Amino acid sequence: MGKRFLHQLLAVVLALFVSPARSGDWLPATATFYGGANGSDTMGGACGYSDLYEQGYGINNAALNTALFNDGASCGQCYVIICDSSKTGWCKPGNNWVVVYATNFCPPNWDLPAGGELPAAGCAGIIPVLYQRVKCWKSGGVRFTIAGFNGFYMVLITNVVGSGSIQSMAMKGSNTDWIPMYRNWGANWHCLSGGLVGQGLSFALVSIGGQNLVFKDVVPEWWQFEQTFTTYQNFDD
């Protein structure tokens, strides 16, 4: 199972981390894989990205444990993972690493020891790794997908570079003041407001790294629910 995992590491990863990452630190964790090499079992997920190919995340992705997922605040973040050769003899020789996007949540299995998380190395299919959070690199600007109905608006944020995720957000209609939005689930943010249909929309985002960007008039007045709007701005934090 160890060799199989390492050969498939570039395809599909389910990483369960023991503690939140600090930039520049290598932290110990355990990982396993799920689904087939085509990534079909990783589509969708708790971040709300649906088709990971279409959203630009591909199949180099990870489902995070409870602490690291942080109720969706880590959706879109990037992590580099290497096999921990100090704890297993199954690591492939050479400097092998993979960068994955956080796109899903792996809930605890309470039938396992250690509070439902994966135990230390020694179980088949469970591999000791080292990881750290790194800057995300993607092409193009931040994308906004609008769902909901008149009075309830939910916006999915995708293609975030830099720190990869958003800590706060607001929306403004062409005839309104700024309206605070709140994380609904994963990378989806919502607000309650009447009359935004038929107005152009702007967004103000603060990344998890603290950078503030305003996306002015990125959604035209003729927008409809379930549409996605691409911008030319992105983060560099």
Q: pLDDT confidence of 51, banded at 50, 70, 90?
A: confident
pLDDT for 102 beyond 80: yes
Residue 92 DSSP code: P
Q: Do the beta carbons of residue 31 and residue 69 sit within 8 Å? A: no
Q: Do the beta carbons of residue 230 and residue 140 sit within 8 Å? A: yes
Domains for the chain: give ranges and CATH numbers. Answer: 27-134 (2.40.40.10), 142-231 (2.60.40.760)
- The per-residue pLDDT for 25 is 83
Q: Where do the DSSP E strands lie in the chain?
A: 14-17, 27-32, 61-64, 78-83, 97-105, 127-134, 143-149, 152-158, 166-173, 178-185, 188-192, 201-207, 212-219, 228-230
- Please count the CA atoms within 13 angstroms of the CA of 199 that sit on its side-chain side: 19
More confidently predicted of 141 and 36: 141
Q: pLDDT confidence of 143, banded at 50, 70, 90?
A: very high
Q: pLDDT confidence of 193, banded at 50, 70, 90?
A: very high
- The per-residue pLDDT for 55 is 87
pLDDT for 218 beyond 90: yes
- CA distance linking residue 80 with residue 132, whole number of Å: 6
Q: What is the mean pLDDT of residues 32-57?
A: 82
- The per-residue pLDDT for 150 is 86
pLDDT for 119 beyond 70: no
Among 95-99, 110-114, 140-144, 176-180, name the one with the lowest average pLDDT: 110-114
pLDDT for 117 beyond 70: no
pLDDT for 113 beyond 80: no
- The per-residue pLDDT for 115 is 55
pLDDT for 18 beyond 60: no
- The per-residue pLDDT for 151 is 93
- CA distance linking residue 229 with residue 219, whole number of Å: 7
Q: Indicate the average pLDDT of the chain.
A: 84
Among 13-22, 127-136, 190-199, name the one with the lowest average pLDDT: 13-22
Q: What is the mean pLDDT of residues 96-103?
A: 90
